[in-house]
Amino acid sequence: MQGLSAGFSRLSSMRIATWNINSVRTREDRVRAFLERSDVDVLCLQETKCTDKQFPDFSDTGYEQAHHGLHSFNGVAILSRVGLEDVQTEFGQPGFDKDLNAVQHQEARAIGALCNGVRVWSLYVPNGREIRDPHYSYKLAWLDALASYAKTTGEDGTAEKLVLTGDFNIAPRDEDVWDRSWFEGKTHVTPNERKRLTALEDAGLTQATELIADQYTYWDYQAMRFQKNEGIRIDLQYARGLSPEAGRVDRDERKGKGASDHAPVIIDYTV
C-alpha cells in the first residue's frame, strides 16, 4: 500500500465505483483505462483472484491501493486518490469450510478503509450456491454480521459516514432480474436474502444504487446473456451520511473481448 494520504484536500463530493473484476491480473489494462476515463475518487474491486503479492501495482495512476487476497479465488481491493487510512479486513463476519466440523476460516471477502473521512468497504458477499447448501446459511450469517456492524456507533454515540459497496449476490427486487421465473427455487432472490438487505436500511443506510434501478450490472457469459440483455442487478452501494446525487452503470465496459461479466457501477455523492 502506497502512502499518499497526506497529499489531498478534503472533498465535498465523492465519486465511488464498485466493480467485480473477475481476475484483476487478466484485466489490469481495463482497470487502468477505467481509472483514466472515469474520474472516480474511489474504486472498489471484488473477485481479484490473487494473493496480495500478485496484485498489480497501480501507484503510477495516482491511486493508493489496499488489497486482501489469500488464494486464486475471492479477493477484494480499494483504490483511492482521496486518502486510504485505517485499512481493515474484519467487521465480525463468520468464516466458512464445506466441512462444517472443521475450523471455519475467514475468506478474503471484505476490505475497508477511511477515504476522505468516509469508511468505505469493498465487499464480495458469498454466493450462496443453492438454498439447501451450507454456503447459503453462511451467506445469511455473513450478511447478519454486516448489518450488526452497520449499527455500531463511535464513542461519542454517532455513526461514522459509511459506504458498503460491492457484489452483494442479491437482486433487491423481482424487477432486478430479467426473468423472475428462471430464478424460481434459486438463490439471489429469496425472501431471506432480501430481508438482509432491508436490515442494512434499518441500520440507517440508503441503497444509493436505486438511482440505477432500471439497469442490470451482471450478465452471465453463457447463452448470449449480454447480447440479449438478460442480466441482473446485484452490484450495489449502501451509504450513510452521504447523499447520492447521480449514478450510472458503465455498460460499455462489459463489451468486447476479455470483459468481466460485471460492469462498473458508479455513484456520485455529496459528502
Q: Are 67 and 54 in contact (CB under 8 A)?
A: no
pLDDT of 11 over the 80 cut: yes
pLDDT tens-digit series, residues 171-204: 999 999 999 999 999 999 999 999 999 999 999 9
In a domain, 1, yes or no: no
**Residue 94 belongs to a domain with what CATH number?**
3.60.10.10
Q: Is 124 helix (H, G, I), strand (E, B) or coil?
A: strand
Give CA–CA dist 131/190, Å, rounded. 9
Give CA–CA dist 229/227, Å, rounded. 6
In a domain, 197, yes or no: yes
In a domain, 262, yes or no: no
Give CA–CA dist 217/248, Å, rounded. 10
> Is 262 known to be catalytic?
yes
- Active-site residue identified among 63, 68, 124, 149: 124
- For the entire predicted model, the pTM comes to 0.95
Q: Which pLDDT score is estimated for 8? A: 67
262 is in an annotated binding site: yes
pLDDT tens-digit series, residues 40-79: 999 999 999 999 999 999 999 999 999 999 999 999 999 9
> Is 52 known to be catalytic?
no
116 is in an annotated binding site: no
Q: Which pLDDT score is estimated for 100? A: 83
Instruction: Kindly state the DSSP code that residue 31 receives in the 8-state scheme.
Output: H
In a domain, 130, yes or no: yes
> Is 135 known to be catalytic?
no
- Kindly compute the dihedral angle of the four CA atoms of residues 138, 45, 233, 133, in this order, to the nearest 10 degrees: -20
Give CA–CA dist 140/181, Å, rounded. 23
In a domain, 67, yes or no: yes
Q: Which pLDDT score is estimated for 99? A: 87
- Retrieve residue 64's grid coordinates: 493508493
Query: Span 130-154, mean pLDDT?
Result: 95
Tally of domains within the chain: 1
Q: What strands, in cross-sheet order, belong to the sheet with 265-270?
A: 64-68, 76-80, 42-46, 13-20, 265-270, 243-249
Q: Domain range for residue 188?
A: 13-248
Q: Are 66 and 75 in contact (CB under 8 A)?
A: no
